[in-house]
Structure 1
């Protein structure tokens, strides 16, 4: 199943009966629900903040998304359980789960009980990643490795207390971070001498576990941050347009059936 956001403006005017809106008429209308049951879904070209630019005092608008319902959620609903993941910060590259108990979480103060966890599979990583230099051996990374990393996750591999709630997943070993879901080629190491290939993000074959705001479980993999997910983006490729796939269980089950 595929969900396209090319017609997002249409969804924004769809009617809804969500109780938050019913209880507070000042809240904006929510998009239509597109996911009604457990399963695997692909989101193509989820539009991030395409206006803000990196550098200086740039502030990127956070994008909230509901895995449970398959829709973008307006930021007025940040302190509710309507969203499950948020794409924040520079080029919407920081990925949060919705947890209202966490001090620095975008859902602070709300009822969200989510968490997030990056799955780093050493058997997959050794096929493409150079740990001595903390970068891929070569790009583009084979697409089949993305599917291998996703498919190998058949259950939630950690206990709930190991899920990240007061922090986010981000770029791999960038600005003091540790393992991440994407490599940011700040200096153009993958294409030496080609200035058009510096400052490019390459998503890695690493799956992500998400506990939703309501307490259900999903596995997810982010394919790319560039429009139409090209294999070889450059510094001029339009971003952020986020493409990802996820499998969600709506019954609290921690096992993912392919």
Structure 2
């Protein structure tokens, strides 16, 4: 890089001796590369289980697990915790309301919000978006048991929710206490560094069976996401 810079400077100086460098030349901002504006899929994410903490962490920008030992850092973007690991929260470091932020005083700028719209229909961060920055994040929907707000999943306490809600279990014998993702919901994540991603969780069960049962191993998250380029709120896949 240093040699390239000197070469360019010398070439321009030589050009000035013959003719002034064009004033019309403009520096172009390089197009971001990496994992931006690409569909990224993750299967059977079980997190870092080296501690006794139930919450697991993932970095969308680095495409890898974060460690519960490293909460006060920018090394993770989303946390899966709370009841049945259904609460998805962002890495926000400022202590609020009695230290309820998941980032626990670290540098994270993150947050989450949920949109009542399928993943493929969400093309950008909505105008006026207000992000949730506490560790409660977004989780269980009111259509299921224990839900308190619009959520990305339903909790089927009895294993019979499908008959009344169209989503959930259909067997009181084998599907009690199961968690079902809602395909009509999308989570918007503000990452620890302040960028944006849209996130769709499809299952929290090992190998993502179409009919999870009470005894199916969890949490093994399956999800897809698209990161907008730094400074952008656009999720268009390129």
Q: Same fold (TM over 0.5)?
A: yes
Q: Which residue of 2 aligns with 1:46?
A: 45
Q: Return closer, same or farther for 1:231/1:176 CA change in 2, 3 Å cut-off.
A: closer
* Structure 1 residue runs without a partner (length 5+): 1-34, 52-58, 122-148
**Cα distance, 1:221 vs structure 2:** 0.3
1:102-121 correspondence runs (5 A): 102=96, 103-121=99-117
Query: Within the alignment, does 1:37 sit opposite 2:16 as a pair?
Result: no
**Cα distance, 1:193 vs structure 2:** 5.9
**C-alpha distance after superposition, 1:79-135 (max 9, x if no partner):** 1111100111233211110101143112021110111010113xxxxxxxxxxxxxx
Q: Which residue of 2 aligns with 1:241?
A: 220
Q: Which runs of 4+ in 1 moved over 6 A?
A: none
* Aligned mates of 2:141, 2:58 — CA distance in 1: 23
Q: Is the 8 A contact 1:96 1:116 kept in 2?
A: yes
Q: TM-score, normalised by structure 2?
A: 0.73
Query: Within the alignment, does 1:177 sit opposite 2:177 as a pair?
Result: no
Q: TM-score, normalised by structure 1?
A: 0.68
* Aligned mates of 2:170, 2:223 — CA distance in 1: 29
**C-alpha distance after superposition, 1:169-188 (max 9, x if no partner):** 11112435111100111122
1:94 paired residue among 87, 96, 117: 87
2:174 paired residue among 190, 196, 212: 196
SS at match of 2:174: helix
1:128-167 correspondence runs (5 A): 149-160=118-129, 162-166=130-134, 167=136
Q: Is the 8 A contact 1:154 1:256 kept in 2?
A: yes
Structure index of larger Rg: 2
* Aligned mates of 2:211, 2:231 — CA distance in 1: 38
